[in-house]
Structure formats: structure tokens, C-alpha cells
Amino acid sequence: MAIVKFTYALEKFFPGIRAIPANGNTLREVLNEVEAKYPKIQNYLLDDQGKLRDHVNIFIDGNLINDRAGLSDAFSPNSEIYIIQALSGG
Amino acid sequence: MHFRRIVKFISSRRCREVNPKNFYMKSTMLLGTRKGFIAYHSEKGRWKVENLSFEGEPVSIAYADARSGTWWAALDHGHWGVKLHRSNDRGKSWEETTAPAYPQGEEIKDGVKAYTRYIWSIANGGKSYQSRLWIGTDPGGLFVSEDAGNNFELVRSLWDHPSRKQNWFGGGRDQPGIHSVVVDPRKEDHVFIGISCAGVFETEDAGKTWNVRNKGLRADFLPDPQSNVGHDPHILVAAPTDPDVLWQQNHCGIFRSIDGAKTWQDISEPEGPARFGFGIAVADDNPDQAWVCPANSDTTRTAIKGALCICRTDDGGKSWKILRNGLPQENCFDIVYRHALASSGDAVAFGSTTGNLFFSADRGESWQTLNNYLPMVYSLQFAD
């Protein structure tokens, strides 16, 4: 079962957010599980068209995903899926 | 006469005769800033911060719905997208609602997917439609809610307007944006919107059909300055006492219409400061009186000669008076964004790009500084 971890920055919007296990076979399915656990979080991670927001990144086992629109990057049941914010100034 | 009856009698006479409430200064100012939502409240002539919400977050528009008293905060999270929150207790608590979203598959241009990049205007639908709320967005979509802001729907007729993909483009933002929604209080299905860059559009049937209303405007930046579409009205407002009188601070000057936007007249000072800028405010009680915040040309976007001034016309733009008393007159870089100038009764206030907040109790004749240390101010609205 893959583990989904979150940047601390999401704590402000989702108090108490913690890493969760996910059963999904695709990133899209995993994010649907995350949404079920933390309602509205997909609006924070994905834009209106379901694409990963420009300043949000997802790493799978330390590697940045390639398919930000289709979310088709593969992972294994032991993978660590890490959702972070891109760093920016101001 | 019994005391209660006297009060009721006076109140009813006031409402029927002049509705003086419209001409009194409202006692609250809502500010949308780069680092939060800030509410000022006036008590015994002193303005104090009543509420700070969303500290650290960019608030593109802070809006109070005068019908219900509900406060709205449009957030522009750098990372997490556009969000919409509302409060029914003057900012003590907030509820996140569903922000306007573009339907699946919608495109700004061919191959460029549409999503809500910015909320640039909020307007209530008027007394006849208590649950209606309009929201204008970048990249050019107008949204309407008929359930008090719980859900928003894209106004399809405007989004599908034949001019949009071909003739609309970014102005102030990368993509086209709707920064002005002006509801006619006499017939609230009658609405004007301002789009940068496209111009002024009008609907008489709550968004089913649209008329382009740019006749008389000038777009000096286009190959054809008299083009039907492609103008850059920085902000569009109507006179409360005569909604057929519309004003706009445009990229290419200040324009006024006295026939419901059918034609526009350039009322800029050719050589004077009242020419380029972003904000404009019209007096509650006089369709001929308005204020603008002049800035240098679009090449620098700074205060003119390092000095800040407000210009007021009392005669519909025939002449402009420069008002400087109490405003910084040297080493000043402030300009005023399009939503950050407002008036209420005799009061005028504005917030600047460098975080200054100025207030006048005498229609701009003299100014006091309320704060020098705010974040960049995006919007300012007077509210009850």
C-alpha cells in the first residue's frame, strides 16, 4: 500500500493532516482517496481541468512526476508519494 | 405623538424623500491586500482595525454584500489556486465556499486550458435577486450564482461570444479578465461588465445576450484605435443617482457616458494629471462628481514627479481639480490599483501599491494618513 505524505504548508488549510495509506492503482485514484479523507483538498492540488497546479509538485519515491495533466506516472505498492509546494518568494 | 411613532414617522419620511442613508459615510472599510483581508471601522471619528483575516494570503477582492452584510474574501493562493470565503459575523469566522471553476474542456485559446486564475470582481445581483451574485475572473469568464454564492455557473453566452478567442487579450494580467460588474439598480437584469482587454459589454437579460459598448473609446495600443473590441477599461463604474451615467478610467484616458454606454466621451486632461491611472470613484449624490488617482504613463506606473495627487471633477469631466493637501509630495512611488479607490458620502479613501492608506472626510480637499505600513492594497470598499 503506497503512502501519501503532505507538505506542512497544507496544515494551515487542513488542520491535523497526516500521511495516509492509499490503495489506488493510479495517481488520480490516489488523489480521490486523499479527497475522501480531506474534502476539498483536490481543489488545492489540481486546477479546474484536473491538472496539477503549476506550483504544486508530486514526487514518487524521490522523483518528480512527469505527467502533470494526466497523472499517469507509475508507482508500486511500496512507494512513497510526496505532495509538496514549489518554493517561491514574496 | 408617542416616541416610537415619532421615530417611525421620521424614518419613513426619510426613506421616501431622499434616502439620506446613501449619502452618509459608511463606517467600515474593507481592504483586500497582498497579505490579508483587513477591515477598518470608524468610531467617533477614528479609524481602527476591526479585523485581520487570512494573514499572509493575497486577497484580490474584499467585498461586502450590502444586502446581507456578508463579507467575501477572494483569495489568490500562490500555490493552491483561487479560493472564495465568506463570513456572516464580520470576519470572526469564515466558511470556504466553492470558487468559480471552468467546466471540463474549456479553453482560453485553442490548446490553452481554462481555469480560474484570479477573481477580479464581485457584485451582488440587486434587490430583485437576493440570491444572485456575479463574479468576474481571469481568464475572461463571468460567473453567476443564484443561490447566494454556494455554487457558480459560467455565463456561457459571454464565454462563447464570437469576439472572445480572437479579439480579447491580457491587460494588467496575462489573460483577459473581468474586473468590473455594474448592475443597473432600476432593472437588475441589466448589467455592464468591463474586460481588460476587450472593453465594455452590456446585457439586458441577465447574461443571455450581449452588446458591445465601446463606441467613442480609443485604444491607442491597437493597430485600429477605434476597433470594436480590444479596449482596456481599467475600471467601470456607474453613478448611483443616475445609472445611465457611466465612467471609466481607461488605459488611454478617462471616459464618460451619459447615455448608458451607447457612446463614450474622452474627458481626460490632455496635458494634465487626470489622464492615466487605474481607479475611479463617483459621488453617491452627484453623477457629475468623480475622483481619479493619476499615475505616470504606462511606461513607468509611478506617482507623477514623485508626488501623489487625487483629481476631482465636479462638472462631469469638463474640468479637474488637483488635490494634494496631506498627500506625500516627494520621493513617492505610490500608485493606486483599480479597485482601491472608493467614496462614501463626503468620504474618499484609497490604498496604494506601497501600502499607504489615505482618507479624506471632505471629498478630497484634505487627506489624512491612516497607515503607512500595510501590504500592497488591491481593493478598498466602504461598507456598513
Q: Which residues of chain A have a CB within 8 Å of the CB of B99?
A: 43
pLDDT tens string B336-376: 999 999 999 999 999 999 999 999 999 999 999 999 999 99
pLDDT at A88: 65
Considering CB atoms only, which of A49, A51, A53 is closest to B79?
A: A53
- Percent share of chain B, pLDDT over 70: 94
Residue B276 sits at the chain A interface (C-beta within 8 Å): no
Residues of B within 8 A of A42 (CB-CB) are none
% chain B with pLDDT above 90: 91
Q: Cβ of A13 and B80 within 8 Å?
A: yes
Over range B162-175, report the average pLDDT: 94
- What confidence tens digit (pLDDT) does each residue in B242-283 have? 999 999 999 999 999 999 999 999 999 998 899 999 999 999
B24 touches chain A (CB under 8 A): no
- pLDDT confidence band for B24 (50 / 70 / 90): confident
CA B69 distance to own-chain centroid: 18
Closest residue by Cα to residue B29 from B354, B345, B373, B353: B345
Among the partner-chain residues A9, A44, A49, the one whose CB lies closest to the CB of B104 is: A49
Contact A44 B101 (CB under 8 A): no
Q: Would an 8 Å CB–CB cutoff place B111 in contact with chain A?
A: no
Quick check: A55 and B79 CB within 8 A?
yes
- Beta carbon pairs, A and B, within 8 Å: 47
Average pLDDT, chain B: 94
pLDDT band at B15 (very low <50, low <70, confident <90, very high): very low
A32-80 pLDDT tens trace:
999 999 999 999 999 999 999 999 999 999 999 999 999 999 999 999 9
What is the per-residue pLDDT for A89?
60
Of B77, B96, B116, the CB nearest to A48: B116
Q: For residue B50, report the phi and psi dihedrals to the nearest 5 degrees.
A: -95, -35
Residue A86 confidence (pLDDT)? 83
Identify which of B81, B103, B114 has the shortest CB distance to residue A43: B81
Residue B18 has pLDDT above 70, yes or no: no
pLDDT of residue A90: 58
Question: Do B80 and A44 count as a contact with CB atoms less than 8 A apart?
Answer: yes
Range name among B2-16, B27-41, B110-124, B147-161 with the lowest pLDDT average: B2-16
Instruction: Give B172's pLDDT tier (boundaries 50, 70, 90).
Output: confident
For chain A, the distance separating the N- and C-terminal CA atoms, rounded to the nearest angstrom, is 38
H helix or E strand, kind and range, residue A6: strand A2-6
pLDDT tens figures, B186-209: 999 999 999 999 999 999 999 999
pLDDT at B384 over 80: yes
- Cβ-nearest to B113 among A49, A86, A88: A49
Query: What is the tens place of the pLDDT at every residue in A38-50?
Result: 999 999 999 999 9
Residue A87 near chain B (CB below 8 Å): no
Query: Quick check: B102 and A45 CB within 8 A?
Result: no
CB contact under 8 A, A53 and B114: no
